[in-house]
Amino acid sequence: MDGRVLPVLLGPTGHPPKVYRIPVPGTDGEPDTVLVYRRVPAAPGKVRLTHRWKYEYDPSGRDDGKLRWPWSKPRG
């Protein structure tokens, strides 16, 4: 990321997306990579009632891309 501020598209519920995938082109013959950032609450407190979010880098880079339902089993 180069410091630019980009507009954030909100979903139908008015929340920003839970996961951001940022494609980074490879240089000098290196393969392209994708950086994955996940949304987390910006301040401690009740997660469901927060209106402030921040994004943290996910070093695992796990990009499931699958739709997760609230009643689904947690990722293991």
Say yes or no to pLDDT of 31 above 60: yes
pLDDT: which is higher, 63 or 18: 18
pLDDT at 65: 57
Question: Whole-number mean pLDDT of the chain?
Answer: 76
Q: 15: Cβ–Cβ under 8 A, 6 or more apart, which residues?
A: 53
pLDDT: which is higher, 45 or 61: 61
Condensed to tens digits (0 to 9), the pLDDT of residues 46-70 reads 656 656 778 888 888 765 656 667 7
Say yes or no to pLDDT of 24 above 70: yes
DSSP-derived secondary structure for 16-38 = PPSEEEEEE--STTPPPEEEEEE
